[in-house]
Amino acid sequence: MAYAPVPYSYTPSLLSTTINPDIEVKLADTTAERDLLDSLGELYSIILTLEALEKGYLRDTVQERDYTEICDRLLRQYRSHLTDEHVRAAFVDLESFKAEWGLEVPKATERLRIGLPATVETAPAREHNSHSNNRNSTGPSGPNPNATHIVSASESFITLLDAIKLNMLSKETLHPILVDTIQAVNKVTGRDFENKGKIIQWLITLNQMRVTEDLELDQARELQFDMQLAYDGFKAVLGE
């Protein structure tokens, strides 16, 4: 039986003769190395999922409520992984990570820069008349539930201002309180009010800081001033 000629002879290499496809190739030798690779893999997955989620929301293929819940969870997971100093050192920063793994994710990049779901960043306006008519109403089960949201928002503002006064100036402390504040405010009213945008601006500033990084004293005074103005603006809207 004749065989087709070949232009050169093939000699198996030592590597090709010694690799057993049934044996798992270890990427890490220690538990710490495996945990690090797992975390970096999770971050990679979170970024890609967030990109797909943002596109789905813009195309109206993802419901607003589902988008908000999933986006908030992804952002929290992203921040949680980066609280580990070893993961942070290997990750470096988002731009470096994207370049290393060839990620083209502009929408996820913007969402991670802001650190809030789009629905929270720009809360939809509610009917002012509906709010005015129901502000003092009571239902069969008790006071208007909106009163609970008002109390929650006020408490968030006060907690934030107290934290600054007590020099609790780390991103780890202030960022969650600011997130709670804007979310609580948006549950009360979707209307814009004076200095509300300052809350978002400071969230972006904090979101770009390292987890262990603290605000400088000048920044802390500026944050306190801006948040007091925002709180005053919020109370003014409630009085209208």
From CA 194, how far away is CA 229, in angstroms rounded? Answer: 8
If phi > 0 it is left, if psi is from -120 to 50 it is alpha, else beta; for residue 142 that is left
Amino acid at 127: E
Give the helix/strand (H/E) hosting 138: strand 138-139
Does the residue 181 lie in any domain? yes
- Percent pLDDT > 70 in the chain is 78
Instruction: Give tens-digit pLDDT for 2-31.
Output: 444 444 444 445 444 455 566 565 566 788
Q: Count of domains in the chain?
A: 2
170 pairs with which residues across the strands?
Answer: 214
Helices (H) and strands (E) in the chain, counts: 12, 2
Give domain status of residue 15, yes or no: no
Tell me how far apart the alpha carbons of residues 225 and 165 are, in angstroms, rounded to a whole number. Answer: 11
pLDDT of residue 18: 57
Between CA 109 and CA 105 the distance in angstroms is 6
The Cα–Cα gap between 64 and 180 comes to 19
Q: Are 206 and 174 in contact (CB under 8 A)?
A: yes
Q: Could you tell me the two tokens for 66?
A: 């589902």
pLDDT-based confidence at residue 125 (cuts at 50, 70, 90): very low
Do 150 and 227 have their domain in common?
A: yes
Mind listing the pLDDT tens digit for each residue in 77-97?
999 999 899 999 999 999 999
> 42 to each of 47, 82, 87, how far by Cα in Å?
9, 11, 11
Type of residue numbered 63: Q
Q: Are 41 and 31 in contact (CB under 8 A)?
A: no
The pLDDT, as a whole number, for residue 120 is 85
Assigned domain for 133 exists: no
Of residues 222 and 125, the one with the higher pLDDT is 222
What is the rounded CA–CA span in Å between residue 43 and residue 25?
22
Residue 14 lies in a domain: no
Q: Are residues 103 and 155 in the same domain?
A: no
Residue 150 CB neighbours (<10 A): 19
Say if residue 109 is in the same domain as residue 190: no
Task: Return the pLDDT at 111.
Answer: 94
pLDDT, average across residues 111-129 = 73
pLDDT of residue 190: 80
109 and 152 co-located in one domain = no
pLDDT tens across 166-198, in order? 999 999 899 999 999 998 998 888 888 999 999
Which CATH number does the domain housing residue 228 bear? Answer: 1.20.120.1130
Total-model pTM: 0.68
Domain that holds residue 50: 31-114
Quick one: pLDDT at residue 25? 52
Helix (H) or strand (E) holding 96: helix 94-101
**Backbone phi and psi for residue 143, each to the nearest 5 degrees, phi listed first:** -65, 160
Look at residues 71, 97, 114 and tell me which one is the last residue of a structural domain: 114
> Would residue 132 count as lying in a domain?
no
